[in-house]
Amino acid sequence: MDREYGPPGPPGPEAGAKYEYVVPPAAAPGAAPTELRRRADLPVPVPEPPRSRSRGRGVISLAVLAFCCAMLGSFLTLALAPDIFRAYRTGNASGGNQVIIRQTPAGSGAAALPEGESPIVAVAESVGETVVGIANFQHLRSWFGDGELTEVSSGSGFIIDADNGYIVTNNHVVENAEDLIISLADGRDVQGVVLGGDARTDLAVVKIEESEGLRAATLGDSGGLRVGQYVVAIGNPGGAEFARTVTWGIISATDRFLMLEGEASFKLIQTDAAINPGNSGGPLVNFAGQVIGINSAKNQAFGYEGMGFAIPISDALPVITQLLEDGRVRHPALEIQIDERYNEAYASYKGWPEGCYVAAVVPRGGADRAGIREGDIITAINGEKVENSLKLTHRLFAQKPGDRVEVEFYRAGRTRTTTVELGEIVDDG
């Protein structure tokens, strides 16, 4: 039976706000050729020659050699293990391809300063060399066919693993790229390859082969951030001309949920540090020189200033690890459809609790098997309240497909609880 469902309540205080990714737009049609950057010719890495697979001359010689190598390897492992485990930071592996992100030892990423000098100086010097520029090249197509590869947008990124040449950035910075040019702090322009990107979380990982002389940023913990804490943003606003620009400010809030192109999975960090087009993918850093966020968006509506947003690094790490391991991210789903018109005002009018109004249930999906029905109002996941679909998405973000979660929902004047096995979001196409 269809439930009565009235018009939505009054818009919230942020109605009309325009949140946009901070990446320079593509060149306007008819722009002068001098405004477009052409792809520079870069040396193509020479592939390694195939290894010989010839057999050994004798089974006995091979066995003796293997035994000696095994004994030598065991002694070296015992001798070097303490140093190795201190210098490496392990990602959260979820599949067979376990990835280890090679990080500097835990601690401060900034050097000591002379007395009285701003700590921003040390942060800029230590973290600045880990920040890269990313130029997205695509063919500008027209009625006359494909043109030459041309830079259509640019952004920022930062090195998380110097040995392997891994770089973290936003997905919208590298999306649809046919060629990527990475500008390093030492002046080199090198070829980049996207290892994996995820539009839902707006994260991507890029790899470069020329890893000599690279330095990785030190990753911090965004779980304990406090409003008012000083932070520094580093990136390339406007492209290479303003590479590694440093701005600073405070954390304005730690729990902002925004709708960016219809997707939001993170509880974003809000900051008043200046973030401009080209800053996307660059690091947000604390005064200890540790990356605590990835700059992603700003409020560009008329009359708004000092409202930039960053993805918390602790939330981003599981996604980054999945991208390194599998090249993609698996997102969990309750397998229901939410009616976004249900809001606080309407809930109050009906005497119902805040939550997510279930407009439809996927037949034989996890929610359906657990007894959730159309018209139910989901109010909590694993004991944590969910007042709207953005917060529901964030609660589920910590899970993975196949996990079981406790779902609290309201039906016919009663609050009930059930356990749902999560499915997986499958994008159309």
pLDDT digits (tens, 9 = 90+) for 29-76: 444 433 444 444 444 443 334 444 444 444 445 454 455 555 555 444
pLDDT in tens, 349-360: 999 999 999 999
CB-CB contact of 405 with 420 (8 Å):
yes
> Residues 201-227: what's their mean pLDDT?
93
Does residue 37 belong to any structural domain of this protein?
Answer: no
Determine the pLDDT at residue 277.
80
Does residue 91 belong to any structural domain of this protein?
Answer: no
Lowest mean pLDDT among 113-117, 230-234, 381-385, 412-416: 113-117
Determine the pLDDT at residue 389.
86
Residue 309 and residue 345 in one domain: no
Does residue 347 belong to any structural domain of this protein?
Answer: yes
Determine the pLDDT at residue 209.
93
Number of structural domains (the chain) is: 2
Does residue 268 belong to any structural domain of this protein?
Answer: yes
Does residue 362 belong to any structural domain of this protein?
Answer: yes
Q: How far apart are CA 342 and CA 347, in angstroms?
A: 7
Determine what percent of the chain is predicted with pLDDT higher than 90: 49
**Phi-psi group of 136: left, alpha or beta (phi > 0 → left; psi -120 to 50 → alpha; rest → beta):** beta
Which domain does 310 fall in, by range?
20-26+218-319
Residue 409 and residue 363 in one domain: yes
Residue 223 and residue 314 in one domain: yes
Residue with tokens 């590694």: 244
Residue 234 and residue 309 in one domain: yes
Residue 343 and residue 384 in one domain: yes
> Residues 300-315: what's their mean pLDDT?
76
Q: Is the pLDDT of residue 254 over 50?
A: yes
Determine the pLDDT at residue 265.
57
Residue 312 and residue 371 in one domain: no
Residue 337 and residue 315 in one domain: no
Does residue 210 belong to any structural domain of this protein?
Answer: no
**Phi-psi group of 133: left, alpha or beta (phi > 0 → left; psi -120 to 50 → alpha; rest → beta):** beta
> Residues 259-284: what's their mean pLDDT?
78
pLDDT in tens, 110-157: 656 566 678 899 999 999 999 999 999 998 877 776 678 888 888 999
**Which of 327 and 114 is assigned the larger pLDDT?**
327
Average pLDDT, the chain: 77
C-alpha of 267 from chain center: 12
Residue 344 and residue 313 in one domain: no
> Residues 239-243: what's their mean pLDDT?
73
Residue 243 and residue 306 in one domain: yes
Determine the pLDDT at residue 200.
86
| Domain limit, last residue, from 260, 285, 319 | 319
Residue 302 and residue 355 in one domain: no
Determine the pLDDT at residue 296.
85
* Position 243 confidence tier, pLDDT thresholds 50, 70, 90: confident
Does residue 72 belong to any structural domain of this protein?
Answer: no
Geometric angle at alpha carbon 362, from 358 and 368, rounded to 5°: 80
Q: How far apart are CA 231 and CA 272, in angstroms?
A: 9
**Phi-psi group of 352: left, alpha or beta (phi > 0 → left; psi -120 to 50 → alpha; rest → beta):** beta
| Domain limit, last residue, from 319, 348, 372 | 319
Determine the pLDDT at residue 87.
37
HSE (side-chain half, CA atoms, 13 Å) at 313: 23
Residue 418: CATH number of its domain? 2.30.42.10
Determine the pLDDT at residue 305.
64
Determine the pLDDT at residue 3.
36
Catalytic residues: 172, 202, 280
Does residue 46 belong to any structural domain of this protein?
Answer: no
Residue 255 and residue 223 in one domain: yes
Residue 240: CATH number of its domain? 2.40.10.10
* Position 334 confidence tier, pLDDT thresholds 50, 70, 90: very high
Residue 304 and residue 350 in one domain: no
Geometric angle at alpha carbon 155, from 153 and 157, rounded to 5°: 150
HSE (side-chain half, CA atoms, 13 Å) at 49: 2
| Domain limit, last residue, from 295, 319, 343 | 319
